[in-house]
Structure 1
Amino acid sequence: MALQPGDTFGRYELVSWLGRGGMAETWRARLLGDAGVTKSVLIKKVLPEFVADEAFVSMFVNEARISATLSHGNIAQVFDFGRVDGQFFLAMELVDGAPLHRIMKRAAKTGLPRLPIPIATYIALEISRGLHYAHTRTDDKGVPLGIVHRDISPDNVLVSYEGQVKIVDFGIAKARMARNFQTEPGVVKGKYLFFSPEQARGHEVDARTDVWATGLVLYEMLCGQQPVSGSQAAVMMRMANGEFPAPRTV
């Protein structure tokens, strides 16, 4: 039976349905504590039809494992991870705002095809702060964890109505704590429009891939368009060779 607003989901009460992605759905919810104490959270839940998909569940668990270690003002925090009635879920910080891609679309509709330079650079700076924190994380013995997001794009950046910038979705992040740390040769993950050259070639990636993707996000905010368009094969070929116009020519 499908969940409805008001239903109890583990320790949480579902308030409203927010949306559905390829394999997961999100809910606004409340943590129900003792003595009437509550906390608003976002529940990200694997869809029932994908519970048996080992590859996706592994990616979802990977997101939980990595995100739970991160505590920074520019990264949406994960509070809880578990399983209710066989369905894996994450309880995350609820960011009262909108994804960056939606903000840019709304701006374009109101006659603002490009974000103002101070706003665009502020957002890029805040993304960079969160990424630097993740990239430099170490374990208890001081060994670098090697966290790389690998999927920085306007979809995975939230901007709150108070101006906070938060990175979300470390689901395909690569880290030494993950079981499948090494990227399989020839396997590419992420949104190809924001691939770094080494990512487009299917090579091993490091923190520089996230820096490159942040630059592409900044490019789109400042220019009002992505640097490359076309089919996936054409885009990846051009990105792999760095063939796109300089911002000032656009």
Structure 2
Amino acid sequence: MSIDRPESSTPPRLLFCVDGTRYELVRKLGRRSSGELLLARRRHAKGPSGCVIIKRLCRPVSEKQKQRLVQEVQLAYRLEHPGIARVYHWGTHGDLPYVVMEYVEGHSLETVLSVAAMRQRPMSEAFVCHVVSEIADALHYAHTRTDEQGRFLGIVHRDVTPENIRVGVSGEVKLVDFGVAYSLLPGRDATTASILRGDIAYASPERMRLEPVDHRSDLFSLGLVMLELLTGRHLFDLEDVEHAARSGGDVLAADRDSLQSEARCEEPSWLPVAQMAARIERFGPEDVARATQGLSEPLRAVVHRVLQREPSARYQTGLELRDALRALLVVQGRPYGRPEAAREVLVAVKEAELLRESADVLEPDVFPGFPGGRTEH
């Protein structure tokens, strides 16, 4: 049984028509604070059909929700990069705003992590270098965008997670869902300082401290994804970090109480805000060193740098991180790109399926917006 399959066993149901193009429901994928996600088939009056993702708001709809979706679309229209999923169309149907987005057929990194865990072996270093370098390049593009007058937009994705990164069937790697992104677009609805949007399991230390963040916060999040792909473990799952968080003393307890009273998450997480903040506050280079044991030394150095607590000590741009990872691929002496990435994911999925009679548990992960991927270890 395939994972992330675009088809459904139920007959398609018409959602709406736009200029002769039909949008038929394949299946519902789930809900997030930014809207309901649907997998749909787009059928043109003339020409081929294909799957798309539709994000629509659910009743009741507030003006703030509408404004957020409009802002997401306005931002997405400015992002034309092969490593970023596209937005095709925006409209309203039955008084509910919706947006039609690119469906990247393949697997999210959340699924890749799941199948790697099932077969009890993480992905190769080459695979991780390729995937992370592609996302670093996409992030650098987004981070450096300007408006029509050349004014810096200050885009920060704020939700770089395994759910929001997909590897297509041909090995293409794409970042999706800028629904909680920060930018300096005029008219932007500012996020309340005490609200943490996105998955806090991949938040940077400065973000968890409710401090202003910039593009380097996204790079830290990408570093956490990178480490998890390489080792099969999230950095803040490590026993040493958990022990330090539990025995941090009165100062840490006070910080946790303060954060608990100030901050709240828009999305559910596998740990309460205070516990995640404690783990992030207590991790250090020694934890990264323990987590990366067994990796090649050059790659360990890259992970160490991207996971520095202070933004000034990290890679300063996505371009720097991309170039460092691509240099490692060159040093290994054999090519690794889209065909190799697609083949490695396919092999991992088949190996995992051989170890399980059914992969049904993975099927909800058809699109990175679907909630509830992670549970506490």
TM-score, with length taken from structure 2: 0.60
**Partner in structure 2 of residue 217 of structure 1:** 225
Distance 1:117 1:223 in 2: 10
> Residue 132 of structure 2 aligns to a residue in which SS?
helix
> Residue 166 of structure 2 aligns to a residue in which SS?
strand
Distance 1:47 1:144 in 2: 30
Matched, 1:237 2:246: no
1:119 to 122, 127, 145: 127
Matched, 1:17 2:58: no
Distance 2:51 2:72 in 1: 17
Q: Between Structure 1 and Structure 2, whose CA radius of gyration is higher?
A: 2
Check conservation: 2:166, 2:174, Cα contact below 8 A.
Answer: yes
Cα displacement string for residues 29-81 of structure 1 (whole angstroms, at most 9, x for unaligned residues): 21424xx224424132325334x233433332222111111110100011111
**Partner in structure 2 of residue 48 of structure 1:** 58
TM-score, with length taken from structure 1: 0.88
Over aligned residue pairs, what C-alpha RMSD do you find?
2.2
The structure with more strand, counted as a fraction of residues: 1
**Partner in structure 2 of residue 249 of structure 1:** 290
Aligned-pair distance for 1:13?
Answer: 2.6
Query: Which consecutive unaligned segments of at least 5 residues does structure 1 have?
Result: none
Distance 1:193 1:99, change over 3 A: same
**Partner in structure 1 of residue 12 of structure 2:** 5
Check conservation: 1:219, 1:226, Cα contact below 8 A.
Answer: yes
**Partner in structure 2 of residue 159 of structure 1:** 167
Check conservation: 1:28, 1:94, Cα contact below 8 A.
Answer: no
2:136 to 115, 128, 132: 128
Cα displacement string for residues 4-35 of structure 1 (whole angstroms, at most 9, x for unaligned residues): 714151223315115122341212221424xx
Distance 1:218 1:76, change over 3 A: same
> Residue 132 of structure 1 aligns to a residue in which SS?
helix
Check conservation: 1:149, 1:210, Cα contact below 8 A.
Answer: yes
Check conservation: 2:25, 2:38, Cα contact below 8 A.
Answer: no
**Partner in structure 1 of residue 40 of structure 2:** 28
Check conservation: 1:41, 1:92, Cα contact below 8 A.
Answer: no
> Residue 7 of structure 1 aligns to a residue in which SS?
strand
Check conservation: 1:175, 1:181, Cα contact below 8 A.
Answer: no
Check conservation: 1:194, 1:213, Cα contact below 8 A.
Answer: yes
Distance 2:186 2:180 in 1: 10
Query: Which consecutive unaligned segments of at least 5 residues does structure 2 have?
Result: 1-10, 238-270, 292-377
Calculate percent identity across the aligned residue pairs: 29
Distance 1:216 1:30, change over 3 A: same
Distance 1:62 1:72 in 2: 19
Check conservation: 1:227, 1:244, Cα contact below 8 A.
Answer: no
> Residue 228 of structure 1 aligns to a residue in which SS?
helix
The structure with more helix, counted as a fraction of residues: 2
Aligned-pair distance for 1:95?
Answer: 0.8
Aligned-pair distance for 1:136?
Answer: 0.7
1:169 to 172, 177, 195: 177
Distance 1:106 1:73 in 2: 26
Distance 1:140 1:238 in 2: 42
Distance 1:244 1:18 in 2: 42
Q: How many residues align?
A: 244
